[in-house]
């Protein structure tokens, strides 16, 4: 099975070692990255046969990405991918690759964010409708058990004696 089907972008990026997160100019490794619209994978080489056998060195799920930003403290084609669990510092080899990666990743992240917001609204609307239907059903059910006294109009007798007269 080819792991490289539906690849939107691939190429070499430098990745800062995660153990050097405190150092701006820590150790960097050249890695081969791929992105299929949902998952970023990185490998130690660009040999696709090895990718199929050994798998990636690491993965970044699009759904886990919080932010993609230009690294402002380091000049050059550096960018940062911030996820729920860690931050990836990356460097493109040239301006063209930098722009391709950052634009494509941001485009897919934005589309994902929009889909999530639409789903939240759909869930919210459904929950609101479900609550409205529940309340209507509850009202109907309560009406079954609420007895209103029925007072016949013509059969009412009144005792016109006062309390003083009845004591006698």
Q: Which one, of 33, 27, 34, 28, lies nearest residue 13 by Cα?
A: 33
Instruction: Report the alpha-carbon distance of residue 144 to residue 116 in Å, rounded.
Output: 42
Please state which architecture CATH assigns to domain 9-109. Roll (2.30)
Instruction: Report the alpha-carbon distance of residue 151 to residue 126 in Å, rounded.
Output: 43
Per-residue pLDDT reduced to its tens digit, 142-152: 777 776 666 66
Q: Which one, of 23, 12, 5, 29, lies nearest residue 100 by Cα?
A: 12
Sequence-ordered strand ranges (E) for the chain: 9-16, 28-35, 39-43, 58-61, 65-70, 78-83, 87-92
Residue ranges covered by each domain of the chain: 9-109
DSSP 43: E
Per-residue pLDDT reduced to its tens digit, 53-105: 788 999 999 999 999 998 777 778 999 999 999 999 999 999 999 999 999 99
Distances, alpha carbon 5 to alpha carbons 9, 10, 34, in Å: 11, 12, 10
pTM of the model: 0.67
């Amino acid at each position: 099975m080819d792991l490289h089907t539906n690849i939107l972008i691939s190429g070499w990026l430098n990745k800062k070692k995660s153990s050097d997160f405190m150092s701006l100019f820590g150790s960097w490794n050249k890695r081969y990255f791929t992105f299929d619209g949902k998952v970023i994978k990185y490998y130690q080489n660009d040999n696709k046969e090895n990718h199929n056998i050994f798998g990636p060195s690491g993965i970044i799920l699009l759904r886990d990405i919080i932010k993609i930003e230009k690294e402002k403290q380091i000049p050059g084609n550096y960018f940062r991918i911030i996820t729920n669990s860690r931050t990836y510092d990356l460097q493109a080899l040239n301006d063209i690759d930098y722009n391709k990666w950052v634009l494509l990743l941001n485009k897919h992240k934005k589309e994902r964010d929009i889909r999530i917001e639409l789903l939240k609204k759909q869930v919210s609307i459904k929950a609101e409708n479900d609550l409205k239907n529940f309340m209507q059903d509850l009202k109907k059910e309560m009406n079954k058990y609420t007895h209103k006294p029925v007072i016949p109009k013509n059969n009412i007798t009144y005792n016109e004696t006062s309390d003083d007269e009845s004591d006698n």
